[in-house]
Chains A and B, each alone.
Chain A
Amino acid sequence: MKRSTWASPYFIFLLLFVALPLILILVYAFQDNEGHFTFQHFVKFASESESINTFTYSIEIAVITTLLCLLLGYPAAWILSNKALNRSSVTIILFILPMWINMLVRTLATVALFDFMSLPLGEGALIFGMVYNFLPFMIYPIYNTMQKMDHSYEAAAQDLGATPSQVFRKVTLPLSMPGVSSGILMVFMPTISTFAIAELLTMNKVKLFGTTIQENINNGMWNYGSCLALIMLVIIGITMLYSDEQSAQDDEKGGLI
């Protein structure tokens, strides 16, 4: 048996569950109810202020979440990878641990927590929930890059007269950028398409782009739903391309991707 035949089950799987759905989305997005080729869904999306608003709002929330994750995650990753501050490998596990629990369970627990502390559900709760859910995805790639970083670079900078803060700005930070871009990708991509967290944490008061897609599909508007999904895929694709370019410049990849 040739080695390539071993790959056939995976090939069939990819064909059925990745390629085919993508082709279907593409086809549906350009069809009207009778199955004729049309641009009407895209026109509808562009002309309806509500859908545009939801779209920009989703991006806004995704950007805020990503920025907050970066602000919280970068120092955490730095502390975790610093041997003087963190001597045990258990702490990193503690940070990664939430990733092992189902996202819905975590979100429901957040709802219960907000209830218990009688805090209002809404935009604040949404951002809290998103950051809480996606923070490990930011910490891990940055931690990974810093962990693998050759400490002789930092020693060399110190040796050349850099104070600890200059060492950080001129060496550690630029060298950890592959991890940062990988982390941004890991957080930004899923946040732009979430809907479950938004539904649960805002009692359906705030609508995200993912929610709109899900509603359309649920209500039988497959063609319009596919069109929205396609637009989202393009946005994610653009971020991917951008970060690919980034990591192609640097030799050390951030891990995870």
Chain B
Amino acid sequence: MAETIIKIDNVSKSFGGKTVLENINLEVKKGEFVTFLGPSGSGKSTMLRLIAGFLTPDEGTISMNGNDITKVPPFQRKLNTVFQHYALFPHLDVYDNVAFGLKLQNLPKQEIEQRVSKVLKMVSMTDYEDRDVTSLSGGQQQRIAIARAIINQPEVLLLDEPLAALDLKMRKDMQIELKEMHKKLGTTFIYVTHDQEEALTLSDTIVVINEGKIQQIGTPTDIYNEPCNSFVADFIGESNILNGTMIEDRKVSFIGHEFPCVDEGFGENVPVDVVIRPEDIYMTHKLEAAQFTGVVKSCVFKGVHYEMFVDSDFGHELMIQDYNAFEIGSTVGMLIKPSDIQVMKKERTCNTFEGVMVGSNQVEMIGAKFDCEDTGLAAGDKVRVEVDFDKIELLDNKEDGSQTGQVSFILYKGDHYHLTISTREGDKLYVDTNDIWDKWDIVGISIKPADMRIVKA
């Protein structure tokens, strides 16, 4: 196993009271191509800026080759960055941009010239030395930015969404070039992107980040085939995420049917999340041989395969990809192989809030006061409140609720939506609903007194 080059230990960072990274632990091996993957605002760029040295963590340490570099300024770190918008110096031409790092080291002119022409050749930008950087296209600027960063021969190259500004065709070409460059240079690459396909194509290791926490670390195949929670499953590729129950070892029930699977050790009759990739459901016209049946609702040609939505016999909507098209309205049979069923432990089965009693029939929690049934508890008593996912009502008119929140994550579970609602104070509520909400909608939150289970803490 290769040795560790970058080690991140218990790093936390917050901006103005808002936690951006929480307790991050990560090791990057020498020569690895590591990708930080997450949606915008997940904290992945902050993590890169911490490694580059433009930010210092509030807590924790970052070390490189075993030396603590947490407080070392960026110009003394042996790593270089390719910036998101390239940040090429507009007052210098291509040659001076690329030679910037070498000129600072006061190297002889001849050596600088040799090395500049070598890296320009590497990024296929020979003969562009005298060009103004502002006259270059996006892809060319990108190449110059990479040349400028690798000329210092850094031990680690940091890339902050370097392909985000390019069009699709160009992005695909650059992906291949980056991968080849990584092989040729042998340098450790740390790459930040929100594009899951890019991450799967390029990386040796993917670090999935959401809301300031590492969700999963693994190879592209691990992350795709065995997502560890519903966020990762939803974020990487297409998937059907369903509520299920683990009946016993190797037997799971979902969409109203029992299926054999390969997972063990969950216990008996435990609620679980089940992930099925759309290409892993087999469709057939032979209904008697199928595990369950359904009616084809839509069928769209996607180039290589057809993408179909099928309503199963117990009313769950499934996304299926198949090379053959099935007629809309026809009844089809479906099969799922045991090894294609990915079972995940549920992170929670109901909402749990910390609260304080205001009176015997009012409780203060998630930053607001809620009426509850008479508990007989005195004001000031600390309590734990449990509310089922489907017992929280979301209201269009935010003034009508006891508290307001914003829809921050939407998960479709075949027959209902599972929403994450974040309040301004940072509390999170999980809601099951059949209503359609959009991400970032502001909603009023209301809970009926009878639906709260209050236990003295």
A contact set with B: CB distance below 8 Å: 150, 152-153, 155-163, 166, 170-171, 174-175, 177, 250-251
Contacts and interface: CB of A to CB of B under 8 A. Distances in A.
Contacts of B100: 157, 160, 162, 170
Contacts of B101: 160-161
Given A158-B73, A160-B149, 5 more contacts: A158-B54, A160-B100, A161-B104, A161-B105, A162-B75
Given A152-B83, A152-B85, A159 B91 contact: no
Contacts of A156: 81, 83, 87-89, 148
Nearest to A152: B87
A251 B135 CA distance: 12
A28 to B, nearest CB: 45
Nearest to B96: A170
Interface string B52-65: 11100000000000
B330 interface: no
By Cβ-Cβ distance, the 7 closest A-B pairs, closest first, are A160-B101, A152-B87, A156-B87, A158-B74, A174-B91, A159-B81, A158-B75
A251 B87 contact: no
Given A158-B74, A159-B74, A161-B152, A251 B90 contact: yes
Contact of A175 (B75, B90, B148): B90
B52 A159 contact: yes
Given A153-B89, A251-B90, A251-B134, A163 B83 contact: no
Nearest to B74: A158
Contacts of B73: 158
Contact of B75 (A152, A159, A174, A177): A159
A87 to B, nearest CB: 13
Size band of the interface chain B makes with A = 20 to 34
6 contacts: A153-B87, A155-B74, A158-B54, A160-B104, A160-B149, A161-B105
Contact of B89 (A163, A166, A171, A251): A171
Which label, helix, strand, loop or mixed, suits the secondary structure of the A interface?
helix
Contacts of B74: 155, 158-159
B80 interface: yes
B80 A159 contact: yes
B83 A175 contact: no
Contacts of A177: 91
Contacts, number: 62
B104 A250 contact: no
A250 B52 contact: no
Contact of B54 (A150, A155, A160, A250): A155
Given A155-B74, A251-B134, A160 B80 contact: yes
Contacts of A166: 104
A155 B104 contact: no
A156 B73 CA distance: 13
Nearest to A154: B87
A164 to B, nearest CB: 8
Interface of B: 52-54, 73-75, 80-81, 83-85, 87-91, 100-101, 104-105, 134, 148-149, 152
Looking at B84, B90, B91, which has the most chain A CB atoms within 10 Å of its CB? B91
A42 B74 CA distance: 62
A152 B81 CA distance: 11
Contacts of B88: 156
B120 to A, nearest CB: 16
B28 to A, nearest CB: 18
A232 B424 CA distance: 63
Contacts of A251: 90, 134
Contacts of A161: 75, 101, 104-105, 152
A166 B75 CA distance: 10
A34 B396 CA distance: 86
A161 B52 CA distance: 12
A162 B73 CA distance: 10
A27 B88 CA distance: 52
Contacts of A158: 53-54, 73-75
Contact of B148 (A152, A155, A160, A163): A160
Nearest to A252: B90
B369 to A, nearest CB: 36
A71 B89 CA distance: 25
A251 B87 CA distance: 15
A155 B105 contact: no
Contacts of B91: 174-175, 177, 250
Contacts of A153: 87, 89-90
A158 B84 CA distance: 16
Looking at A158, A160, A251, which has the most chain B CB atoms within 10 Å of its CB? A160
A160 B52 CA distance: 11
A170 B101 CA distance: 11
A152 B149 CA distance: 14
Contacts of B83: 152, 155-156
Nearest to A155: B54
Given A160-B80, A166-B104, A155 B87 contact: yes
